[in-house]
Amino acid sequence: MSAPPPKAFQDYYPDHLSWCYGCGRLNAHGLQIKSYWEDAQTTLCTFTPRPFHTAVPGFVYGGLIASLIDCHCTGTAAAACYQAEGRPMDSEPPFRFVTGALHVDYLRPTPLAGALLIRARVTELKGRKVVMAAEVAAEGQVCARGQVVAVQMPEAFLKGP
Which position among 32, 34, 43, 66 is part of the footprint of a second copy (CB under 8 A)? 66
CA atoms of 97 and 74, how far apart (whole Å): 5
Residue 131 one-letter amino acid: V
- Say if residues 21 and 71 touch (Cβ distance below 8 Å): no
Total residues found in the chain within this entry:
161
E strands, the chain, are 35-37, 42-47, 97-106, 116-126, 129-138, 141-152
The number of beta carbons lying within 10 Å of the beta carbon of residue 25 is 17
82 binds a second copy (CB under 8 A): no
Which position among 25, 36, 38, 61 is part of the footprint of a second copy (CB under 8 A)? 61
CA 119 distance to own-chain centroid: 9
Which position among 8, 45, 71, 134 is part of the footprint of a second copy (CB under 8 A)? 71
Count of residues engaged in binding a second copy, rule: CB under 8 A: 40
Between 24 and 78, CB nearer to a second copy: 24
Number of Cα atoms under 13 Å in the Cβ half of residue 116? 33
Positions in 84-143 near a second copy (CB under 8 A): 98-106, 109
Which position among 10, 12, 47, 53 is part of the footprint of a second copy (CB under 8 A)? 53
- State residue 145 phi and psi, 5-degree precision: -125, 145
User: Least CB distance from residue 51 to a second copy, whole Å?
Assistant: 9
Between 53 and 119, CB nearer to a second copy: 53
Which position among 19, 36, 37, 82 is part of the footprint of a second copy (CB under 8 A)? 19
Residues in contact with a second copy by CB under 8 A are: 16-17, 19-22, 24, 27-30, 50, 52-57, 61-64, 66-68, 70-71, 98-106, 109, 153, 157, 161
